[in-house]
Structure 1
Amino acid sequence: MGTASSILTQYDIEEVQEHCNNLFSQQEIVSLYQRFCQLDRNAKGFISADEFLSVPEFTMNPLSQRLLKMVDDLNFKDFVAFLSAFSAKASAQQKIELIFKVYDSDRNGKASFKDMLEVLKDLSGPFMSDEQREEVLSQVLREAGYTKDSYLTLDDFIKFLVNLT
């Protein structure tokens, strides 16, 4: 698995499966490897942010710029681990951890009001004013027992989501 042009061995496949909690079958791993090799245009063994931008579904995502920070320079194993959160077989915990990483763009382990506001802006685009976004987010935080000055850790974020439901 050192370079993208190498062939996956049975050991490699099993190692990748284990790395992503067996969410993908061996055939799915092989298919993902073929896609990885297509994206890794220079056969460097990792995919750059620029190479990710060649995926139309990725660039159409309103959160693509935030996601790019998470996917830049992924090797195959990490590529599959990243994609595993999107699997129907992924646990709620895995999905929540990925969502939290989207909010925690500076990777300090906390999501601030500003972080959450930026994600809301990315998602709402021109359909909401800055004032409307602030008002909505403030109200949602208040209803969940938080304030604009709160910093949410992953555990807080999970509690926050639970309080919203």
Structure 2
Amino acid sequence: MGNSSSMLTQYDIEEVQQHCNNAFSQQEIVSLYERFCQLDRSGGGFVSAEEFLSVPEFAVNPLSQRLLRMVDGLNFKEFVAFLSAFSPRATLQQKIEFIFKVYDSDGNGKVTFNDMLDVLRDLTGQFISEKQRTQVLTQVLEEAGYTKESLLVLSDFVKILGSSGLKMEVEVPVD
């Protein structure tokens, strides 16, 4: 898959579509490929963290530094898989798995109280104190049946977020 939309074959489109569990239509995949090529300024077939930061919405996201660890060096297929969690066609399970990866920054399959506190700190900045963050997080965990000492795994996130009506969607403009 080269660096121009004319190099994206029907086979490539179908392969990417299958890889992302049909989260995007073929037309959306073509649009995503065009956007990927715009981001891939070096033309190397991968998008770097710096290239991702050229997207204003990404750069101002309070979680951008966490997300950069997930996106640095993605090829097109991985780029679409990353974005598939934001598709309206993505399942709740796919969305929760994505959120879990954001919290599990070291990739060990477990999320600690401090991991959650770090994300909350990223999201709230200076708007609330560290004491308030700790209190809020402790209360949320207790209401869900966990403690500060709990190590949460993916199934815990599914249990906690599974009935939340979680909305994470991005519209892919198509020509």
User: For the Cα contact (< 8 Å) 1:4–1:46, is it kept in 2?
Assistant: no
One-letter amino acid matched to 1:59:
A
Identity value in percent: 72
The whole-number CA distance in structure 1 between the counterparts of 2:40 and 2:67 is 18
One-letter amino acid matched to 1:134:
T
Is the partner of 1:86 in helix, strand or coil? coil
One-letter amino acid matched to 1:26:
Q
Aligned-pair Cα RMSD in Å = 1.5
Paired residues in the alignment total 164
The whole-number CA distance in structure 1 between the counterparts of 2:134 and 2:163 is 19
TM-score (norm 2): 0.90
- List, as ranges, runs of 4+ consecutive aligned residues in structure 1 with deviation greater than 6 Å: none
TM-score (norm 1): 0.95
One-letter amino acid matched to 1:142:
E
Unaligned runs of 5+ in 2: 166-175
Please name the residue that 1:4 is paired with. Answer: 3
Please name the residue that 1:19 is paired with. Answer: 19
Mapping 1:76-95, distance limit 5 Å:
76-95=76-95
The whole-number CA distance in structure 1 between the counterparts of 2:50 and 2:31 is 21
User: For the Cα contact (< 8 Å) 1:39–1:51, is it kept in 2?
Assistant: yes
Unaligned runs of 5+ in 1: none
Indicate the structure with greater helix content.
Answer: 1
User: For the Cα contact (< 8 Å) 1:23–1:90, is it kept in 2?
Assistant: yes
One-letter amino acid matched to 1:4:
N
Mapping 1:109-128, distance limit 5 Å:
109-128=109-128
One-letter amino acid matched to 1:105:
S
